[in-house]
Structure 1
């Protein structure tokens, strides 16, 4: 009887967790589709869209450029000392360009924006929730998802591909700095290999990933902030802290998981 009771308790706990996960996924899906629909509802929130375009995009350019430059420089070093073992250092430009455009560019761009902008969004919306500002919006007849989430989502869908393109370009130049200026590879060969090897399908694949990552990051971060008040770990400032942490961690993990899924379809 004791064993039966323990088994029942275990099954009940597992079942409750599964139900909770399914409920959260359903709530997230509804949140996302409502946000998508409200992007195109009138009147268009163009001013809020521009504000978020500046916050997500323009304010992230410096960190994206720095990350892209050092990533390309490291790839140049690592790629050279790997390829030189096979006498193939001439294709360093191919390795750096394709690695950045296909994988590292979209992934690292999304992760850096998550840390810089996504965490701020989760904290801002979370504070609005616990201070009852969102309730006030609803009381005044303002759709809070349309007001808080839709402009951010629209801006992210525009910014992520553009920032990814900047990351790729700066990273390729960083690979040139180490490969050509420091390690002696001909600049003509380096850029010829970049031009020869990169196809439009590679660029399109990187942009598709960037758009999907943008939707994932902004949706998770806004969702975590919007539903801060439902967290079991704590309420108030503690709840906002947990929501912000969860937003960054979940977004980063989903970026990597989604990257694997998209790569398997785009290859």
Structure 2
């Protein structure tokens, strides 16, 4: 767990350094007005870049907390499955499952506001990006400034989608526990309690109990699953394709003139 947390921290710090580098290089190669900088005012430019670096560092720290929480919850689910497989004590497993799903609900309720805030921030940045590209498509005509500009604008959105994917994996792992338990063989003390060979009433009961408990990662009462994140990714891809099409159309019209 420590190695995974350290690796995630190093990856996020590397992305933060890349975003700051893209921001600085974009201010050099792109139009300063397009970057929100003041032409000829070095102090205000340095203040703007410093504010951006500090803000992105806070955003990266929030993403690290979200990813670390998701990893810890996945580890808790794996630990429950391993302990249940070792003991195969149904009564004890039911108590542990109740504690586990309460832990997941508590952890998700503590960080759900951060998901909402980051989602609103990323949505606002995408709206501003769409407005700028739609009004000034010449910003994306040159390949190098366009790549640098999109490098520091798109990275937080991609991080948000990745964090949502990791949170949704907690829900998906919870849904796979019941089918996993259903494939086990339990010793039956009372032969009369079996309707046929291979049917164990205790196993069926706990499988139904796990499925009907609907454990998972919840954000404001909504169960976050991979299908929801996939739809968000599709929407983000459609918006990106629309912006790229607008820029390419404007570039072709400019060349035709």
Q: Give the TM-score category using the shorter length.
A: 0.3 to 0.5
Larger helix share, 1 or 2:
1
TM-score for both structures, normalised by structure 1: 0.35
Instruction: Report the structure number with the largest CA radius of gyration.
Output: 2
* Bigger relative contact order, structure 1 or 2 (CA pairs below 8 A, ≥6 apart): 1
TM-score for both structures, normalised by structure 2: 0.36
